[in-house]
Chain A
Amino acid sequence: GAGVSQTPSNKVTEKGKYVELRCDPISGHTALYWYRQSLGQGPEFLIYFQGTGAADDSGLPNDRFFAVRPEGSVSTLKIQRTERGDSAVYLCASSPVTGSNEQFFGPGTRLTVL
């Protein structure tokens, strides 16, 4: 079956612009996570959805970052007024509600803010 997919794979934008990053989780997975990874670092948690609601958004760095999951499947991470420091790989992961909490990661979206 299909794994987690993320689009676009690469996004280059200018400082101050708005971007949307999309995540398609594995079908039937109710938990969805967003992480951000900078070069040479491990993934850093941003937000976690259980179904349609954000169960934990403590990792969002500021109010320029927002994420939605309106139907409990696809999720969109939205970044307003992008800054050069937002440049990173944004990873999405999904997990079934029961089990080991193994998280299945997508390939990531590489965001570059010029």
Chain B
Amino acid sequence: SQKIEQNSEALNIQEGKTATLTCNYTNYSPAYLQWYRQDPGRGPVFLLLIRENEKEKRKERLKVTFDTTLKQSLFHITASQPADSATYLCALGPTGGNTGKLIFGQGTTLQVKP
């Protein structure tokens, strides 16, 4: 069955540095991959989507890469700020089509220290 893994340990970085989070998956070929942010006591909030035929996507200080050969996505936050502290979730979309369930990783907690 499909398996998706994110760094289980929390990531602690200094303000202004670049945070890099990893998402690896096996036994699956998603049509796209999404990243969400989740704050304590709240539902996830969509950040970025990258499709299987795209290598890289950017949005403001965020950058996502997608390597379908390695079955890996990297999520970067440049010039990180304490307000970026949250849990970040990677989610795989369905194999075909645009709509359908998401398969989430367990999330990586990011702590940005001033």
Contacts and interface: CB of A to CB of B under 8 A. Distances in A.
B42 A107 contact: yes
B51 to A, nearest CB: 9
Main secondary structure of the interface of B (DSSP, over half): loop
Contacts of B69: none
B93 A107 contact: no
Given A56-B101, A108-B42, 20 more contacts: A31-B99, A35-B104, A42-B91, A42-B104, A42-B105, A42-B106, A43-B44, A43-B89, A43-B104, A44-B104, A48-B100, A93-B43, A97-B99, A101-B93, A101-B99, A103-B44, A103-B102, A105-B44, A105-B45, A106-B43
17 contacts: A4-B43, A33-B102, A35-B104, A42-B106, A50-B99, A55-B100, A56-B101, A58-B101, A95-B99, A99-B98, A100-B32, A100-B49, A101-B49, A102-B46, A104-B46, A106-B43, A107-B41
Contacts of A31: 99
Interface of B: 32, 34, 36, 41-46, 49, 89, 91, 93, 98-107
B10 to A, nearest CB: 11
A53 interface: no
Interface residues of A, number: 31
A67 interface: no
A34 to B, nearest CB: 10
Contacts of A42: 89, 91, 104-107
A100 B36 CA distance: 14
